[in-house]
Structure 1
Amino acid sequence: MPWKLTPLLLFLAWMAYKCSARARTDLFNVCMDAKHHKIKPGPEDKLHDQCIPWKKNACCSAKVSQELHRDTSSLYNFNWDHCGKMEPACKRHFIQDNCLYECSPNLGPWIQEVNQSWRKERVLNVPLCKEDCQSWWEDCRTSYTCKTNWHKGWNWTSGSNKCPTGTTCGTFEFYFPTPAALCEGLWSHSYKLSNYSRGSGRCIQMWFDPAQGNPNEEVARFYALAMSAGAMPQGIRPLLLCLALILPLWLHD
């Protein structure tokens, strides 16, 4: 048996490298397992308007990108104008937010499993660049809403979201007194206000010029490598799974 030890160690070292590499890769250039996402990212030449920045590599289809620009789309039947007409400058941020969520293949490090009827995965605490969050809040301060968490608690009896009984419409600034309150609270902490600025390579940009490339690729790669190197869920567990599959075969031999 000792003569087999060295080949085994070499083989396990090779498999450890392959398994850890696969774990790292799985954290970037991936699509969520959600209601309208594609299984794998790829080119989409006909993406619509604000979703165009993702056309070289997208998790959304052209049809989905078109629906994201409607006031009440068929994707979720969500009405932005639930407290009167939302200001156009404000609505642009929500459309861009939806394009990022539906189209981006660079949110892998923050994807979490969920047990929800309409999706199996979501994002949590995506570090949103502080300028993007600040401008979102500034442009929406004078628009109106009636809730601080738009993920839940709506009245859906009409088929689209209505303000629930007991709530009143007020300005965004009333319901979201700070940029962090808006970006972090709006979608159940899908985003986290980052201390980093656009172009730092450490925060996700909601807005970017596709002619300059997609800056979020670098960001996703940085966090994916960091998580694989230092966190058990992305690094150790895949390796243990690989070893669990390999060792019985070797022992049987």
Structure 2
Amino acid sequence: MAPRWLWLNVLGALAVAGVRESLLNVCMNAKHQKDKPGPEDALHSQCSPWKNNSCCSVNTSHAAHEEQSYLYNFSWSHCGNMSGKCKKHFIQDTCLYECSPNLGPWINVVDVSWRKERILNVPLCKEDCDQWWEDCKADMTCKENWHKGWNWTTGTNRCPLGSMCEPWPLVFPEPKDLCEKIWSNSYQYTPFQRGSGRCIQMWFDPKEGNPNAEVAKYYSRAGRGGAARLPLALLLPALLVLRTV
């Protein structure tokens, strides 16, 4: 029988292979994502780049474009009407979150009532983050972290009591502040540019394919990722063998 160290090496190799595979082409265990990615020919407007392989449904893609939808009952316009050029980035952000099957390396387990997984430190392309900030800099907000701390007494998000609406640059002085703080570090500001293969694009032309698939593959091979969803079935045979050697 093979020595114990050899079985440990086999187990390690199985684990690494399983982790890499489990990070690719997956959907989060969250509120509105499908169990598995697949084609959705009629995805709406800004969500349409993911129509060939999507974690969101047609209904979710439509709701992502509404001012206050059933998705999270969240209003972008908590400090007056948000400008259209700013809002388009939040719609695209929602489409990426709900529809992308390429966020596996950054999925982490969480224990909250409305989702079991979230993304953390997704490396966002520099241009996407810079343009998001540029298009929103004339808008107003009262919070830098939009994940929590709202006043929900009316059934939708309102600024916390005592907070003030301020110009965007006072709350988010730089693009890095916006992308990293607004969703509790869901995104990470990077120096990488679109097409580099090292950053996730919020915007891409589906006619040229989805560049984020290769980015996810790169980071999964590099050993990056949160709570990798390694199937237990891959480990059980090796674990049983280890008990007998």
- Relative to the length of structure 2, the TM-score reads 0.91
Partner residue, 1:57: 53
Q: CA deviation at 1:16?
A: 5.3
Partner Cα separation in structure 2 for residue 211 and residue 52 of structure 1: 11
Partners in 2 of 1:174 and 1:79 — Cα distance?
Answer: 21
What is the CA distance between 1:195 and its match in structure 2? 1.1
- Say which of 133, 136, 140 aligns to 1:137: 133
2:66 matched to 1:92?
no
RMSD, matched Cα: 2.6
Q: Per-residue CA shift, 1:130-187, capped at 9, x if unaligned?
A: 0000000000000111110000010101110011101111121111010000000000
Mapping for residues 47-86 of structure 1, pairs under 5 Å: 47-86=43-82
The DSSP-based 3-state class of the residue aligned with 2:85 is: helix
Contact 2:123 2:188 survives alignment (8 Å)? yes
Say if 1:19 and 1:242, in contact at 8 Å, map to a contact too: no
Aligned length: 244
* Corresponding residue number in structure 2 for 1:119: 115
Report the residue type matching 1:5 in the other structure: A
**1:23 offset after TM fit, Å?**
1.6
In structure 2, distance between residues paired with 1:138 and 1:26? 36
Name the residue aligned to 1:103: 99
How far apart, in 2, do the equivalents of 1:170 and 1:103 lie? Answer: 32
- The 8 Å contact of residues 43 and 51 in structure 2, kept in 1 or not, is answered as yes
In structure 1, distance between residues paired with 2:29 and 2:84: 31
C-alpha spacing 1:141/1:91, structure 2 compared with 1 (3 Å)? same
Alpha-carbon distance, 1:21 to partner: 2.0
Shift of 1:22: 2.0
Question: Percent same amino acid at aligned positions?
Answer: 57
The 1:232–1:82 alpha-carbon spacing in structure 2 relative to 1, beyond 3 Å, is: closer
Contiguous gaps of at least 5 residues in structure 2: none
Higher share of residues assigned helix: 1
The answer to whether residue 28 in structure 2 is matched with residue 23 in structure 1 is no
CA distance in 2, matches of 1:232, 1:97: 20
How far the C-alpha of 1:241 sits from its partner, in A, is: 5.9
AA aligned opposite 1:44: E
SS of the residue corresponding to residue 47 of structure 1 reads: coil
Equivalent in the alignment of 1:247: 242
- Preserved contact between residue 27 and residue 101 of structure 2 (Cα < 8 Å): yes
> Could you say which residue in structure 2 is the equivalent of 1:151?
147
Are the structure 2 counterparts of residues 119 and 71 from structure 1 closer, same or farther at C-alpha, using a change threshold of 3 Å?
same
**One-letter code aligned to 2:240:** L
Which residue among 178, 184, 191 is the counterpart of 2:180? Answer: 184
Identify which range, 167-176 or 58-67, moves more after superposition: 167-176
Q: Quick one: higher RCO (CA 8 Å, sep 6+), 1 or 2?
A: 2
Alignment partners' CA distance in 1, 2:226 and 2:139:
43
Tell whether 2:201 aligns with 1:205: yes
Question: Per the alignment, in what secondary structure is the counterpart of residue 227 of structure 1?
Answer: coil
Whether the 8 Å contact between 1:44 and 1:58 is mirrored in structure 2 is: yes
Residue 13 of structure 1: how far off its partner (Å): 6.6
Task: Rate the CA distance shift 1:10–1:235 in 2: closer, same or farther, 3 A.
Answer: farther
Q: Is contact 2:46-2:95 (8 Å) kept?
A: yes
Q: Could you say which structure has the larger radius of gyration?
A: 1
Amino acid at match of 2:17: A
Tell me the equivalent position of 1:5.
2
Aligned partners of 2:71 and 2:226: how far apart in 1?
A: 36
